[in-house]
Amino acid sequence: MDYKIYKYKTLNELVGANHIFASILNDFGIRFYEYPELTLEEVCKNRGLLIEKVISQLEKYKDDNSIESLKLFTLPVDLIIEYLKHAHHIFIKRRLPYISSLLRGAEKVKPEHEQIIQDLKFVYPIFVEDFIHHIYQEEDTLFTYITKLQKVVSGDLPAAKLFFELEKHSVRKYAVDHEIHEDELEGLKKITNNFDLKDQSDIHMNVIMKELQSFEKELKIHASIEDEILFPKALMLEKEVKKMLSDNKGSN
């Protein structure tokens, strides 16, 4: 690894070449827009960071601009739910706060971008609040219900325990509702012309748009895992539990 590729470049040069670097530097407590003209070596010295460790992370994730497509079809429902919960945790604890910090730090953007930043600073917190509420609601209702279905099928919970819940819940209805609310970023996309930035010379603004694009891509992958893997598996579980209850009723 040639450390000179990184150590003598300014943060603006690094982030301008690859927006992913802004997020990685942020993990080390380095906000690129606070030290735009300092080299990585200078910033690491000032902050007491081991430059080799920082460069190692930059090198590791330099091409990581999308979530790896995971093959979850063969996994049981409980593991799929745990994966989705982990993704929720990353969204809430890392992704959303990072974009918030980028918006807070956007004080010196080009004049033509000032109105977009003002609008985002107003709308983004509202989006975050609604998004987090949706996530917790999904975990408390849908995920809990599916987990109970699996416990019944695996013999860890009596089918009779879900008699009333089967009347109250419906995987198919959850799936339809999920499809209706799928484009949660619609409001932000309207403000930013679908996160499209024609003039990419404003590095800070470009990083914000790239991060919003990446977040949208992650959400689409997340939604496809729910739509194409979780819901079909959950429908099968629900059908099986209903059959178990019907068989029990017939034998009594």
What was the pLDDT predicted at 252? 55
The pLDDT value recorded for residue 2 is 66
In a domain, 71, yes or no: no
pTM: 0.77
Q: Is 243 exposed, middle or buried (0-12, 13-18, 19+ CB in 10 A)?
A: exposed
Please give the pLDDT value at position 168: 87
Q: Which of 61, 85, 106 is the last residue of a domain?
A: 61
- Tell me, yes or no, whether 200 and 231 share the same domain: yes
Assess if residue 183 is contained within a domain: yes
70 in a domain, yes or no?
no
Is residue 69 in some structural domain? no
Q: Are residues 124 and 239 in the same domain?
A: yes
- SS3 string, 166-188, reads HHHCCHHHHHHHHHHCCCCCHHH
Rounded Cα distance, 37 and 218, in Å: 31
Q: What is the pLDDT of residue 120?
A: 94
pLDDT at 70: 46
- pLDDT of res. 102: 94
| Confidence (pLDDT) at 1 | 57
**Overall number of domains in the chain:** 2
**What pLDDT does 41 receive?**
95
The list of the chain residues with pLDDT below 50 reads: 65-70
Whether 204 and 104 share a structural domain? yes
Rounded CA gap, 36 and 207, in Å? 13
pLDDT of residue 249: 67
Residue 161: domain span: 77-251
Residue 176, C-beta contacts closer than 8 angstroms, at least 6 positions apart:
none
Are 149 and 199 part of one and the same domain?
Answer: yes
Listed residue (60, 72, 67) closest to 91, CA to CA: 67
Task: Give 48: exposed, middle or buried? Use CB within 10 Å, 0-12, 13-18, 19+.
Answer: exposed
